[in-house]
């Protein structure tokens, strides 16, 4: 539970920030302005995103935060930071208890099933940057300790088996959401009678009959939702960390209460940058928004958001129909703070736009005989990319370098993925124009120099695509049964076995593989980057 605020020597500072770009600016909900990104500890970023309450299957609205923050992490890593990204799982809650009763199964089973559903959706959307996913029920000791500390410091009180946070003791309450203590209503019902004032909210709830409960100094019970995040973020990231994210609907009361608990307990800021992503709305519901642009007013959009309780769902089916790439691309086409309009039209449009890139990639594979997805630029850093393009010459590479710069400027500007995606389009357009002006479709006119320029341009597309988590793997076909992926996987395995055999001068085996594939009309082509295959 060590604080991340370790004193750093001057020398240390300059060393570790040497390769860092200092151009990133983040919109901070706390100050309502874009601020230069400066980390608590040089070169390191601690990032926390409020994760799901696992009581029902996820819907597409739940994927906005994970896709955005997955992209933010990719960009920070690309920019030279070491990032620790934590997403919590709330696996004890009223809704979980209700679901477990309704289904007649233990709460832990509901939680496990729905966590698996959530993880599989993340995987389909290419969200693979999360470092840890702590569960509330695994952190009961830390949660109880946190509550004890708050009581000891006079910010919380026990009452009839419950423990409440005393909002009147926190004079800064409301600074994140611009709301007052009067807006914070806390728990009603039976709990209301135990509270000193209406705004006090529960840190610990005494167990009712048949509810899952844990032993505590205040009797059997379970934690409130807000305290889970304060406790788990402290365990994973320390008392003060860099970025806290979540949907706009979580700003109040959840984040406001997290902030109050942590700041009061540690007497220091909890988070440097509070980031809130916009919510999703169905197409056609847009008119209800009324063109409001102020972020505080935008919280009203929460009433129109897509939610489980409104009967939306079937994300796994949607992914099956649309493919994970398309949904990810669709989400990244909006600036993360804006409202995302979701519906058939928007998805179809995203699919069409995405196919522009896939057509170019297929074209490149066909012309070059290389597979785009064999590239090694996925792990490229910004510094390496800058270096490689420093002497870019020729019309195409100068254009590509210029568009890459704008792409990075957009990403630096509060992770404007929408702006970055438009630069990628421009880049694809330039590359297609180059293929045409150089007549590369005509194999007789296909010169080595032009092909090498094409490969360099495609490598920049790969570098920038990887930041967005796109064009990393050959796309799945919508509605496909996955057999194409299996074929690709088996062929890659055979290609590897053949390469191993050749490395050991076992030509009998390598010839068997080649001839066996030839009998299936599959030819192997050995290239500098690796071996590609083609079915005639
Ligand atoms: Zn939270």
CATH number of the CATH domain containing 261: 3.40.50.620
Neighbours of 120 (CB within 10 A): 13
| C-alpha of residue 225 to centroid of ligand 1, in Å | 7
Whether the CB-CB separation of 330 and 67 falls below 8 Å is answered with: no
Give domain status of residue 347, yes or no.
no
CA of 257 to the centre of ligand 1 (A): 9
Could you tell me if 455 and 519 lie in one domain?
Answer: no
Residue 472 lies in a domain: no
pLDDT of residue 210: 84
Return the pLDDT at 471: 93
| pLDDT above 60 for 298 | no
439 and 522 in one domain? no
Q: Which of 27, 122, 20, 123 is nearest to 76 (CA)?
A: 20
Query: How far is it, in rounded angstroms, from Cα 40 to Cα 237?
Result: 11
Q: Where are the alpha helices (DSSP H) in 344-381?
A: 344-368
Shared domain for 445 and 319, answered yes or no, is: no
With a CB cutoff of 8 Å and minimum separation 6, the contacts of 474 are 373, 485, 488
Tell whether the model's pLDDT for residue 300 goes beyond 60. no
For residue 193, the CA-to-ligand 1 centroid distance in Å is: 26
Q: Give the per-residue pLDDT at 443.
A: 86
Of the candidates 536, 532, 535, the one whose C-alpha atom is nearest the C-alpha of residue 369 is 532
pLDDT in tens, 23-75: 999 999 999 999 999 999 999 999 999 999 999 999 899 999 999 999 999 99
User: If you measure from the C-alpha of residue 224 to the centroid of ligand 1, how many angstroms do you get, rounded to a whole number?
Assistant: 11
CA–centroid distance, 203 to ligand 1, in Å, is 13
In a domain, 1, yes or no: no
Q: What is the mean pLDDT of the chain?
A: 87
Number of domains present in the structure of the chain: 3
pLDDT band at residue 474 using 50, 70 and 90 as cut-offs:
confident
Separation of 103 CA from ligand 1 center, angstroms? 27
Instruction: Indicate the residue among 288, 312, 341 that finishes a domain.
Output: 341
Q: Write phi, then psi, for 70 (nearest 5 degrees).
A: -60, -40
Q: Which two tokens stand for residue 163?
A: 């423990």
Environment of ion ligand 1 (residues, CB < 5 A): 50, 229
Q: How far apart are CA 351 and CA 200, in angstroms?
A: 48
Q: How far, in Å, is the centroid of ligand 1 from the Cα of 112?
A: 19
CA of 50 to the centre of ligand 1 (A): 4
Q: Evaluate whether residue 500 is within a structural domain.
A: yes
Tell me which residue of 432, 435, 427 sits closest to 405, measured CA to CA.
427
pLDDT of 496 reads 82
pLDDT of 182 > 90? The answer is no
% residues pLDDT > 90 (the chain) = 69
Dist. CA 66 → ligand 1 center (Å): 14
Domain interval for residue 384: 356-467
- Rounded to the nearest whole angstrom, what is the distance from the C-alpha of residue 262 to the centroid of ligand 1? 12
| 274 part of a folded domain | yes
Quick one: 59 and 170 in the same domain?
yes
pLDDT given for residue 499 in this prediction: 86
On whether both 273 and 392 belong to a single domain, the answer is no
Distances (CA, A) of 224 to 173, 196, 228, 261: 18, 17, 7, 12
Considering only residues 128 and 532, tell me which one the structure prediction assigns the higher pLDDT: 128
Residues 24, 95, single domain; the answer is yes
Asked if residue 5 belongs to a domain, the reply is no
Please give the Cα distance from 51 to 520 (Å, whole number): 48
Is residue 312's pLDDT more than 70?
A: no
CA–CA gap between residue 279 and residue 256 (Å, rounded): 18
pLDDT at 433 over 50: yes
pLDDT surpassing 80 at residue 264: yes
Say if 155 falls within a structural domain: yes
Identify whether the C-beta of residue 212 lies closer than 8 Å to the C-beta of residue 223. Answer: no
């Amino acid at each position: 539970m060590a604080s991340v605020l370790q004193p750093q020597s001057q020398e240390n500072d300059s060393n570790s920030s040497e390769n860092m770009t200092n151009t990133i600016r983040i919109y901070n909900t706390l100050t309502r302005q874009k601020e230069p990104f400066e980390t608590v500890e040089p070169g390191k970023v601690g990032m926390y995103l409020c994760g799901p309450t696992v009581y029902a299957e996820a819907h597409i609205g739940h994927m906005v935060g994970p896709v955005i923050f997955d992209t933010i992490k990719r960009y920070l890593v690309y920019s030279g930071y070491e990032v620790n990204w934590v997403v919590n799982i709330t696996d004890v809650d009223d809704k979980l208890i209700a679901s477990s009763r309704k289904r007649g199964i233990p709460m832990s089973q509901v939680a496990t099933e729905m966590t698996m559903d959530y993880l599989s959706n993340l995987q389909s959307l290419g969200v693979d940057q999360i470092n840890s996913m702590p569960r509330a029920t695994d952190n009961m000791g830390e949660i109880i300790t946190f509550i004890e500390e708050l009581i000891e410091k006079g910010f919380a009180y026990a009452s009839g088996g419950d423990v409440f946070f005393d909002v009147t003791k926190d004079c800064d309450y409301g600074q994140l959401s611009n709301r007052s203590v009067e807006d914070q209503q806390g728990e009603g019902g039976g709990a209301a009678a135990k509270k000193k004032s209406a705004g006090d909210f529960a840190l610990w709830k005494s167990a009712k009959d048949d509810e899952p409960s844990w032993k505590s100094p205040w009797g059997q019970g379970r934690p409130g939702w807000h305290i889970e995040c304060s406790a788990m973020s402290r365990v994973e990231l320390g008392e003060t960390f860099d970025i806290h994210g979540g949907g706009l609907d979580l700003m109040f009361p959840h984040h406001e209460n997290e902030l109050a608990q942590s700041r009061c307990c540690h007497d220091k800021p909890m988070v440097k940058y509070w980031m809130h992503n916009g919510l999703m709305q169905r197409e056609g519901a847009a008119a209800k928004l009324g063109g409001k642009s102020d972020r505080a007013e935008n919280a009203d959009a929460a009433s129109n958001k897509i939610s489980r309780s409104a009967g939306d769902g079937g994300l796994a089916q949607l992914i099956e129909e649309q493919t994970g790439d398309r949904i990810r691309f669709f989400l990244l086409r909006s600036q993360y703070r804006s409202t995302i309009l979701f519906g058939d039209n928007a998805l179809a449009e995203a699919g069409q736009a995405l196919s522009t890139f896939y057509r170019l990639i297929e074209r490149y594979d066909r012309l070059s005989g290389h597979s785009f997805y064999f590239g090694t630029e996925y792990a490229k850093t910004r510094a390496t990319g800058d270096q490689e393009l420093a002497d870019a010459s020729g019309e195409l590479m100068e254009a590509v370098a210029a568009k890459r710069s704008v792409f990075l400027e957009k990403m630096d500007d509060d992770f404007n993925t929408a702006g970055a995606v438009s630069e990628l389009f421009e880049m694809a357009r330039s590359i297609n124009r180059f293929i045409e002006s150089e007549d590369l479709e005509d194999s007789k006119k296909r010169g080595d120099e032009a092909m090498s320029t094409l490969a360099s341009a495609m490598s920049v597309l790969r570098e920038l695509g990887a930041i967005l988590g796109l064009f990393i793997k050959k796309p799945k076909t919508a509605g496909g049964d996955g057999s194409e992926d299996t074929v690709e996987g088996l062929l890659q395995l055979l290609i590897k076995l053949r390469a191993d055999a050749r490395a050991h001068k076992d030509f009998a085996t390598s010839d068997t593989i080649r001839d066996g594939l030839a009998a299936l009309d599959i030819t192997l082509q050995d290239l500098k980057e690796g071996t590609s295959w083609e079915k005639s």
